[in-house]
Structure 1
Amino acid sequence: MPKTLTSDDIQQFREAMRRVAENAFATRGAEGVTMRELAKELGCSAMTPYRYFRDKDEILAMVRAAAFNRFAARLEAVAKQPPSTDRYALSDAYVAFALDEPHAYRLMFDLAQRDEAYPELAAASQRAWQMLGAHFEKLVAAGILEGDPYLIGYAYWASLHGFTMLALANQLPLPQAQRPAGSSAPTREDVFAQIRRMLWRGAQPQRG
């Protein structure tokens, strides 16, 4: 008879599965992963994951929800600081998360799952988006930026996502640390700095 699972048992197994599954889904794609393979990588029987998850898609939703929550937490931490401290802090945190956790970032945005089937995932993705909207809402209310805060948020998101995906695909100039000595060509950091300046200036109030 299977032992009764405690809440700690469930949490520990789910976290172990999250780590294994995140790498598996990111490197092999959703269609290239099976429950049996995940069980083997965890060192458990083929049927054990079914005690914790309905199917593979539920595992994928858990992985993506965890990624969105880590992403949102990173943004929320810097959004608490006044923009006068560092007006680019939010953009920096966004890109830093993607470069620190490329597997998680790709899984967040490269896949789609039905919100009604996975409310935890829907709540996690909304947490990130609502934080961006609230952040720009405060900046507009303070007169620092001008326009629809949610439209500004979308513009920031789209621009930073484009930069991030190009960076992850190695389609941008080399980072400063990898640039040949003596080279005067733009670096990846130069491109990012230009994007940040353009986004900020484009949303500033028009004077005169």
Structure 2
Amino acid sequence: MIAGRGLSGLKTRDLAREIGCANGAVYNLVEDMDELILRVGSRTLLRLDQALSTAEGAGEPSPQETLVRIAITYCDFAAENLQLWRALFEHRMEAGKLVPDWSAADQMQLFRHIYVPLATLFPKRGADELGITARSLFSAVHGMVALGLEQKLVAVPLPALREEIAGLVRAMIDGLIARAERSHAAAAP
């Protein structure tokens, strides 16, 4: 239902009818709609994780190009699974309710796809700094994907979006490498 209609199209009455149970019986399977949406999100993230893992192993093994492949794969996954991908970011928990640990872990473990190539590129950086850089790189790519796939004035044709994302990732990595080299040169005796 989410894949076809988005979050706004998810209704327990329709879901119950689809799976052949009473409306209230849906809540024998999940605690509430938040859990249902998070469970669907978890399955979506697993599929994204598989796509990113495939991208890591394909093509040139350099960490820079691995990051480019990961970014483009993220874009392609979002384009091919638009409603499910949007649901990952549009869903808001009920006021005062925290995201369960299992769901947060599902989300955070995907950063390893970015973290590992960055750790190879910047072996002198600490884990916290690498984590911030990984999240920053993701944020830049995610922003381009989110705006680029909008079906409004700012939409970008997918082939052009893929090229722009590749260029952004390469530019960011080149800039980070140059900054690290300047810092290293300044610190040398």
| TM-score (norm: length of structure 2) | 0.73
Match of 1:159 in 2: 140
Q: Deviations over 1:71-128 (max 9, x none)?
A: 2232233335632693421212221211121112111122244885523212211211
Tell me if the contact between 1:39 and 1:46 (Cα under 8 Å) persists in the aligned partners.
yes
**Which amino acid in the other structure matches residue 170 of structure 2?**
R
Please tell me whether the aligned partners of residues 3 and 82 of structure 2 are also in contact (alpha carbons under 8 angstroms).
no
Cα deviation digits, residues 46-94 of structure 1 (max 9, x gap):
2332331222221111011212222223223333563269342121222
Q: Extract unaligned runs of 5+ from structure 1.
A: 1-19, 177-186
Residue 83, structure 1, aligned to residue 56, structure 2 = no
Q: Which has the higher contact order (CA 8 A, sep 6+)?
A: 2
Question: Aligned pair in 2 of structure 1 residues 35, 27: CA closer, same or farther (>3 Å)?
Answer: closer
* 2:161 corresponds to 1:174: no
Q: How many residues align?
A: 172
Stretch of structure 1 that moved more, 77-86 or 100-109: 77-86
Whose helix proportion is higher, 1 or 2?
A: 2
RMSD, aligned CA: 3.1
Question: How many Å separate the matches in 2 of 1:107 and 1:42?
Answer: 21
Distance 1:38 1:21, change over 3 A: farther
Number of the residue aligned with 1:107: 87
CA distance in 2, matches of 1:158, 1:85: 17
Match of 1:6 in 2: none
Tell me, yes or no, if structure 1 residue 34 matches structure 2 residue 16.
Answer: no
Pair member with larger Rg: 1
Quick one: which of 23, 27, 30 aligns to 1:46? 23
**Inter-CA distance 168–42: structure 2 relative to 1 (3 Å threshold):** farther
Q: Which runs of 5+ in 2 are unaligned?
A: none
- Counterpart-to-counterpart distance in 1, 2:74 and 2:172: 14
1:132-154, Cα deviation, whole Å (9 max, x unpaired): 323322332299xxx93223212
Is 1:150 paired with 2:123? Answer: no
Name 2:34's counterpart in structure 1: 57
Alpha-carbon contact 2:144-2:165 (below 8 Å) kept: yes
Q: 1:27 to 1:200 in 2, by over 3 A?
A: same
Task: Specify the code of the residue in structure 2 equivalent to 1:133.
Answer: Y
Contact residue 69 and residue 125 of structure 1 kept, 8 A: no
Deviations 1:134-182 (A, max 9, x none): 3322332299xxx932232122111111111112204244345xxxxxx
Q: Equivalent residue for 1:134?
A: 116
Distance in 2 (alpha carbons) for counterparts of 1:193 and 1:117: 32
User: Relative to structure 1, is the Cα distance of residues 117 and 98 closer, same or farther in structure 2, using a 3 angstrom cutoff?
Assistant: closer
In the other structure, the counterpart of 1:4 is none
Identical-pair percentage: 18
